[in-house]
Amino acid sequence: MKYFPLLLALTFFMPTCCFAADPPSIVFCESFDDNWKAKKKGTEFYGTTISWMATATKPYGLHRIILSVYRQDGAKETLVARKNIDVNPEWDTTGIRYMSMPAEGEYTLALTTPDGNLLNKGMVKLFKGNSLAVEHKEETLGAKLEALFKKYAPQKEE
């Protein structure tokens, strides 16, 4: 009986302390500029062309990460595309502008390391319609946000 308070405490704190937190979410948008500012963020879009950005909790430390695209159909999830993304090991952010998706529907995008560790994950829903980005070519980009911040941070006057 003297251990009951300890068991009770473990019951409440164990789930929060011993399991990994959810990975950072992928930000979906119509496009983003060279300073990584999203234009029209959301999780629902018309057309099959989207842009997305993902920031990891630390620099990738790798030369390649994997993008997997899953189509959601109720409880069923089907892999529809997988591609390698070349990255700089110092980067902590990557994204694709004007990525073509297979069709309308609900999708989950996941970024993983080559050995399967999840870096980022996000869900997006695409509806039938015209996208504003259809005439653009797909671009894969990356950055180290700290360096970008320092580049555009206000400078002290001397």
pLDDT at 5 > cutoff 50 = no
When pLDDT is cut at 50, 70 and 90, the band that residue 111 belongs to is very high
pLDDT at 6 > cutoff 50 = no
Asked whether 59 and 90 are in contact (CB, 8 A), the reply is yes
What is the model's pTM? 0.72
Asked whether 87 and 64 are in contact (CB, 8 A), the reply is yes
Q: Give CA–CA dist 115/13, Å, rounded.
A: 30
HSE-up of residue 109 (Cα within 13 Å, Cβ side): 29
- What is the pLDDT at residue 34? 86
pLDDT in tens, 41-86: 999 999 999 999 999 888 999 999 999 999 999 889 999 999 999 9
- What is the pLDDT at residue 112? 94
Which structure tokens are listed for 108?
A: 């989950």
Q: What is the CATH number of domain 21-149?
A: 2.60.40.380
Which structure tokens are listed for 37?
A: 């500012």
pLDDT in tens, 7-43: 334 444 444 344 456 778 899 999 998 888 999 999 9
Contacts (Cβ under 8 Å, ≥6 apart) of 18? none
Residue 125 CB burial class (10 angstroms; 0-12, 13-18, ≥19): middle
